[in-house]
Structure 1
Amino acid sequence: MRFGVLGPLAVRTADGSPVTVPGPKTRALLAALLAHDGRPASADRLIDDLWGEEELPGKPAAALQTKVWQLRRAFEDAEPGGRELVTLQESGYVLRTEGETEGEGVDAGRFRALTSQARTADDPGVRAGLLSDALALWRGRAYEGFEDAPFARPVAARLEEDRVTAVEEYAEARVALGAYREVAGELSTLVTEHPLRERLRAVHMRALYGAGRASDALASYRELRRRLADELGLDPGPELVALQQAVLEQVPALGTPGPLSPGRSAPLAATPPQTASAAQPGPVPPGRPAAAR
């Protein structure tokens, strides 16, 4: 059986047939078990996940057992032996999601496996293909319908961060393949949604420059520099500063240069890099908020 959390909650049998999980609380139980990612969840934890601030039923433990029974029955009706996917261990309930290969049971696991493979590939075409497959697994917001529930909120936030990082990596691979114009257009909305992500801004600038839009690339840099200063009191990181300088100098390695904005007769002065800044992904150095990535 396969489970989907990269969008509305979904369950399918091995042959792809959809599985109906009846009732909002039973579906919430499934979402909570999936959010625990194979780790046991105690009965008290699940009761809190399902009812939260709502008035608890008269016998919470019995009510939880009923929801577990309903979930097991839905799995068994879909596939013989499906009820065994939900087990009770000494430390709590566990949902087994193993597939034929690692990460196959849940779309989030497949997403992580594909992005990990992409990061080990040297060929940009291979990376782009793997990242395209990974991003195609997304059907909406992670844990859609439950994304605001306390048990799902941190998991959904991490998955969204992973998705945006994968989009950045996919764009970088496609820019390396020369798809400047397509990437420049596709990233415009994402840059607006994440205006302080320096890695995203960098790949967008490279795409704009390669598409013959050097003036737009420089305008994008100026906007980021202004927003970082106004909102965080920071300067762009050294890699982004170096990229801006390369655009100004029309370094051949960047691709086809575009014209500077009409009337601009002198290059824009590069902003001195800040020691604690970093344009590349990974842990944010102390003193630089994660939002500035």
Structure 2
Amino acid sequence: MEFRVLGPVRVIVDGAPADVGGRRSERCLLGVLLLHIGSVVTMGRLTELLWDDHPPARSRAAVQVLASRLRSGLAAAGAERYGVRLVTRAGGYVLEGDPERVDAHRFRVLCDRARTVPDPAGRLALLREALALWQGPPLADAATGQVRREVLPGWEELRLAATEGRLDCQLSLGEHADVVDELRALVAEYPHRERLVELLMLGLYRAGRRQDALAVYEAARRELAERVGLDPTPALRDLRRAIAHSDPALDPAPRAAGARPAQLPPAVPNFTGRDDQLDALDGLADQPGAVVISTVGGVGGVGKTGGGYWHHYFRRRDRSGRLRGAGVRRRFAWSIVANPGCCGPAELVSTGPECGCYQPISAYGWPAMYAATAARG
């Protein structure tokens, strides 16, 4: 069972919607209790939230009726099996249950986790997961005016902060071209959020649009002066100064290089009979000097890939499947060539640093199973 309040109020049981509260007032009661899951909401507070400034004459009885209907709906959906109960306590009601069943509380947990992650890529993944839970304004189909004014602003602030965090991570990862348009729209919607203005200026600057970034600052400065009578914060002024002087500190930090892949595919299970030739290749790989380039040649289907490449490297990896020996210590290049002009079919050849032509190692020595394959092909 899960509950959704970041959008329309919904109860999901086994992946399907459950009809718990048909009336808007019942859904509003459920939504308020879910946002305060585990905490008592008093009768007086519920009266204020459910009916704005016009409660019914017998508001306490009206709340009790709504709670009774909600309790019946939860029972019909099997809420008890999931540890969810509506309980009367201390002059009000508390919805008991695991907060992780409520999307709003999962959102907050993911945001809290993101703040502890130093890597922008990992932080970005958590913030994207958190923001994906939002399907619209909280309690979109149930909130009263009082709920929108007194309960929901805190959740909207959390969403905006998470959005700013996501955009900051994307800028840190060099994705400025992907976020500039979104930032412009957000700045237009929230012109007094200076963090969004900062991010837009930084994104434009990193996209090579320094004058546009400075113009955004001037527009924000005028907006703040005319609408609220304030100057930009020191952080915003410092950013404007850095952009004007093309401060190298504004460039995105270089991303740390990831570990190079060293894992190999499994060995060819039915390759046999080429130990002498593979030993010869081992000897070539262990030669001192520059890059050793080896080529396996032959007609299609003779076993060039299976024999000359993967099986050779299978002999050069440890039990974890990683490369070892000359394949790691020195650069060793391979190519697979079908029907090289100067070599006969099924011939294993190599070239070393001291030679520019093919040097046959052995000819016509492939196992019978591969010879048969070549004959059929």
Do they superpose with TM above 0.5? yes
For 1:130, the equivalent position in structure 2 comes to 126
Tell me if structure 1 keeps the 8 A contact 2:34–2:95: yes
* Match runs of 1:254-265 below 5 Å: 254-255=250-251
How far 1:205 moved relative to its partner? 0.8
How far 1:176 moved relative to its partner? 0.3
- Aligned equivalents of 2:174 and 2:201: distance in 1? 14
SS of the equivalent of 2:93 reads strand
How far 1:40 moved relative to its partner? 1.2
- Aligned equivalents of 2:210 and 2:106: distance in 1? 38
Deviates more, 1:63-72 or 1:169-178: 63-72
How far 1:35 moved relative to its partner? 4.1
**Which of 1 and 2 has greater Rg?**
2
For 1:88, the equivalent position in structure 2 comes to 88
For 1:9, the equivalent position in structure 2 comes to 9
Deviates more, 1:173-182 or 1:63-72: 63-72
- Aligned equivalents of 1:137 and 1:89: distance in 2? 31
Structure 1 unmatched runs, 5+: 257-293
- Aligned equivalents of 2:196 and 2:62: distance in 1? 47
Distance 1:154 1:53, change over 3 A: closer
SS of the equivalent of 2:151 reads helix
For 2:339, the equivalent position in structure 1 comes to none
- Aligned equivalents of 1:84 and 1:184: distance in 2? 44
TM-score where L is the length of structure 2: 0.62
Distance 1:4 1:12, change over 3 A: same
| CA offset digits 1:70-90 (Å, max 9, x no partner) | 212211221262695101123
For 1:285, the equivalent position in structure 2 comes to none
Which structure has more relative contact order (CA 8 Å, sep 6+)? It is 1
Q: Does 1:219 align with 2:215?
A: yes
For 1:41, the equivalent position in structure 2 comes to 41
For 1:207, the equivalent position in structure 2 comes to 203
Supply the AA of the counterpart residue of 2:195. Answer: R
- Aligned equivalents of 1:10 and 1:206: distance in 2? 39
Supply the AA of the counterpart residue of 1:170. Answer: R
TM-score where L is the length of structure 1: 0.78
Structure 2 unmatched runs, 5+: 253-377
Q: 1:191 aligns with which of 181, 187, 191?
A: 187
* Match runs of 1:139-178 below 5 Å: 139-178=135-174
How far 1:39 moved relative to its partner? 1.9
Distance 1:154 1:62, change over 3 A: closer
SS of the equivalent of 1:150 reads helix
Deviates more, 1:73-82 or 1:113-122: 73-82
- Aligned equivalents of 1:39 and 1:80: distance in 2? 18
Supply the AA of the counterpart residue of 2:226. Answer: D
Supply the AA of the counterpart residue of 2:115. Answer: R
How far 1:224 moved relative to its partner? 0.8
Q: 2:108 aligns with which of 105, 109, 112?
A: 112
How far 1:53 moved relative to its partner? 4.1
Tell me if structure 1 keeps the 8 A contact 2:111–2:130: yes
Q: Does 1:56 align with 2:56?
A: yes
- Aligned equivalents of 2:166 and 2:84: distance in 1? 38
The size of the alignment, in residue pairs, is 250
- Aligned equivalents of 1:56 and 1:190: distance in 2? 40
- Aligned equivalents of 1:164 and 1:52: distance in 2? 26
Deviates more, 1:74-83 or 1:239-248: 74-83
Distance 1:94 1:152, change over 3 A: farther
For 2:18, the equivalent position in structure 1 comes to 19
